Chain A
């Protein structure tokens, strides 16, 4: 499997351009060149020919949001890719085994109890995945079908509790907005924590690329080829849960990215996770930066939850690809 570097470089370049471009958009007009220079000046030494105000708008206000969008998009697309590969299920996304319901319950609790939302949703999401994994374990093995079903069962249970909290809440719109997903609470501390956890989890997942490829042939065959499939399952679940929980805790439940980006990349690159993972990461980041920019500008000064944009722009595009490709879609 010779790796193709060219598409990766191209996607990285597109991501950079979209990031810079997104920071130029907003009420105050700042040119693309100025925005690019302000950002590059953080790394290289560039002669300063812009105002302090422009620098504050780019670095203090717009950049953390754009970077957080990139991180969340990267996390969801990579985790979705891992779950689809592991479960061999084209319906799989990062939330499939109950992650979103766990996080949502934590967020709903945090609004009721006035506790930090990010922290609480991260904790409940992690506990949920841990519980689903333990419940699915039969005699040292975790059958994929059991994992899926117990994830769905626990997810429904937690969703019921969340609905109850919303119903009883004094200001239910807070919880509902959070559930729709959005990046309006972005700041640098969130960017720092999320980038640490998400890059760690993504690197861990990349290490399983080869084993995930072999496991696509079937678990028994993978075992015959010397892979300890239970170790791979545990490792992939832990890493993708880490990055999904990190993403959800800073942005709420943004749908669609984790489901569709890996499918689109699979159509382009084929099933090899060694190229599929990095392209999904970059495309997910680009996609969410792009859609978040639309969500904050399309009805300006009103801001839409980004989840509405990801689905309403992404779904038709995906359907177009599906028809054009005319192929069966696999995980």
Chain B
């Protein structure tokens, strides 16, 4: 569905993405893993056109995204950004309604509220409707931000480390929710730091290293000891989860 070809992005003189080639298939959850500074967030920024690539092509269903304006992109691709902190006392319903921004022409109508309600139902945030965003826990905020993304009615959902600020229960709940959304037809690309969670939840995984895709494919073919040791510069053992045979990565504990 989403095809990225030879994508190059620079920040000033520093080349962050150096010819990325990646396909996201319709209806899959693709995990992006890689060490800090490997360009994962930059990839999301480039896909949405928030930063202009130096070179390369990004197409969705064969259409070149570089010719689209902000609004058109936002109707097609929604982003759940890294660590959202909102200091302003908007209610949850107001925050989710902001997801309708790319569809609004003047004032919102009852149909917009219907879509907002559905997004909140899917993310199990309906009961939070009238609470203030400043009062919620990290896990609740993340679900609200996902609801806002759904209110954009996108075909593609990009998530930038959606679980990195959550406790283990929050992490599992959010990934479970993303998995459910993918089952319901959305295509998702998620940057995930936790290799084991990525292995357990993603249909496919791409390993970004040094601005390029070092490996991509099924979790067990990407998360090999050699790949991880080269990309992350640590020693690991890779075992198999007994119940579903997804890989489990155990880092060697460093002792002094």
Q: Which of A221, A223, A271, A328 contacts B70 (CB 8 A)?
A: A223
Question: Are A210 and B101 CB-contacts (below 8 A) given A224-B50, A224-B79, A271-B90?
Answer: yes
Indicate if A220 sits at the interface (CB-CB under 8 A): yes
Q: Bound complex: CA of A201 vs CA of B245, how far in Å?
A: 64
The answer to whether B101 and A221 have CB atoms under 8 Å apart is: no
Q: Is the CB of A214 within 8 A of B90?
A: no
Cα of A272 to Cα of B86 in the assembled complex, Å: 14
Chain A nearest Cβ from B255, distance in angstroms: 41
Map CB proximity to A onto B54-71 as digits: 1 under 8 Å, 0 otherwise.
000000000000000111
Is the C-beta of A234 less than 8 angstroms from some C-beta in chain B?
no
B18 at the interface (CB under 8 A from A): no
User: In the complex the two chains form, what is the Cα distance from A213 to B99 in whole Å?
Assistant: 12
A-B pair number, CB within 8 angstroms: 67
Q: Does A31 have its Cβ within 8 Å of any Cβ on chain B? A: no
Chain A positions near chain B (C-beta within 8 angstroms): 1, 210-211, 213-214, 216-218, 220-221, 223-228, 270-272, 328, 330
Q: Do A217 and B86 touch across chains, with their CB atoms under 8 A apart?
A: yes
A67 to B152, CA, bound (A): 45
Is B226 located at the chain interface by the 8 A CB criterion?
no
Assembly CA distance A226 to B90 (angstroms): 19
| Count of B interface residues, CB-CB < 8 Å | 30
Given A213-B94, A224-B50, 10 other A-B contacts at CB below 8 A?
A: A1-B93, A213-B90, A213-B98, A216-B90, A217-B86, A223-B70, A225-B74, A225-B98, A225-B152, A226-B152
* B191 lies within 8 A of chain A by Cβ: no
Instruction: Type the 1/0 row for B93-113, where 1 means its CB is closer than 8 Å to any CB of A.
Output: 111011101101000100000
* Residues from chain A with Cβ under 8 Å of B139 in the complex: none
Q: Which residues of A contact B90 (CB under 8 A)?
A: 213, 216, 270-272
Instruction: Sort A-B residue pairs by CB-CB distance and give the 10 closest, nearest first.
Output: A226-B74, A226-B102, A224-B79, A226-B71, A271-B88, A225-B101, A216-B88, A226-B70, A214-B98, A223-B50
Complex contacts, A214 vs chain B, CB 8 Å: 98, 101
Question: Quick one: which of B48, B75, B98 contacts A223, CB cutoff 8 A?
Answer: B48
Given contacts A225-B98, A225-B101, A225-B152, contact A217 B70 (CB under 8 A): no
Residue B81 at the A interface, CB < 8 A?
yes
Q: How far is the CB of A146 from chain B (nearest CB, A)?
A: 16
In the docked arrangement, what's the CA distance between A214 and B232, Å? Answer: 37
Given contacts A214-B98, A214-B101, contact A226 B50 (CB under 8 A): no
What is the chain A residue whose CB lies nearest that of B73?
A226
**Chain B neighbourhood of A225, CB < 8 A:** 74, 98-99, 101-102, 152
| Distance (whole angstroms) from the CB of B65 to the closest CB of chain A | 14
For A219, give the chain B residue with the smallest CB separation.
B50
Once bound together, how far apart are the Cα atoms of A217 and B79, in whole Å?
A: 13
Check B101 against A1 for contact (C-beta < 8 Å). Answer: no
Whole-angstrom distance from the CB of A250 to the nearest CB of chain B?
33
Identify the closest chain B residue to A328 (Cβ).
B87
